[in-house]
Amino acid sequence: QVQLVESGGGLVQPGGSLRLSCVASGSIFSFNVPGWYRQAPGKQRELVAVITSGGSTNYADSVKGRFTISRDNAKGTVYLQMNSLKPEDTAVYYCNAKIRPLGRREEFDIWGQGTQVTVSS
């Protein structure tokens, strides 16, 4: 069974940094358009950043210049480097990717379980 497993969340002071990682586990044929989303209490889930297989990136306006998304195709891993964190970045961060398992023709939209990021002094 294919899963996405996030790590790297935690508590950080305003202005600090965190690096989130998301690893695809299981037998995977392809790992496409991985991205990060977040959901703050009482708010809808929103896009933070996505990256294509060609390396093109798209960021939410609120994180441009502070967050950087990257990927390692060979490892089926996507990262989110978060710098200059603000209290409004506090949320549960979710990894997402379109994954085609080995031996399957279909592509599935897979979500991780989420990792909490809290920015507070």
Portion of the chain with pLDDT greater than 90, in percent: 83
Q: What pLDDT digit, counting tens, does each position of 3-19 carry?
A: 999 999 999 999 999 99
Residue 55 has what pLDDT? Answer: 87
Q: What pLDDT digit, counting tens, does each position of 36-77 carry?
A: 999 999 999 999 999 988 889 999 999 999 999 999 888 889
Q: Residue 21's closest CA among 32, 10, 31, 7?
A: 7
Residue 20 has what pLDDT? Answer: 98
Mean pLDDT of 95-116: 94
Alpha-carbon gap, residue 32 to 47, rounded angstroms: 16
Residue 40 has what pLDDT? Answer: 96
The token pair that represents 89 in the structure block = 């970045």
Q: Residue 66's closest CA among 52, 80, 79?
A: 80
Alpha-carbon gap, residue 56 to 27, rounded angstroms: 25
Tell me the DSSP string of 66-79.
Answer: TEEEEEEGGGTEEE
Alpha-carbon gap, residue 101 to 105, rounded angstroms: 8
User: What average pLDDT does the chain have?
Assistant: 95
Alpha-carbon gap, residue 34 to 14, rounded angstroms: 27
Vertex 67, ends 84 and 80: CA angle to 5°? 120
Band of pLDDT at residue 30, cut at 50, 70 and 90: confident
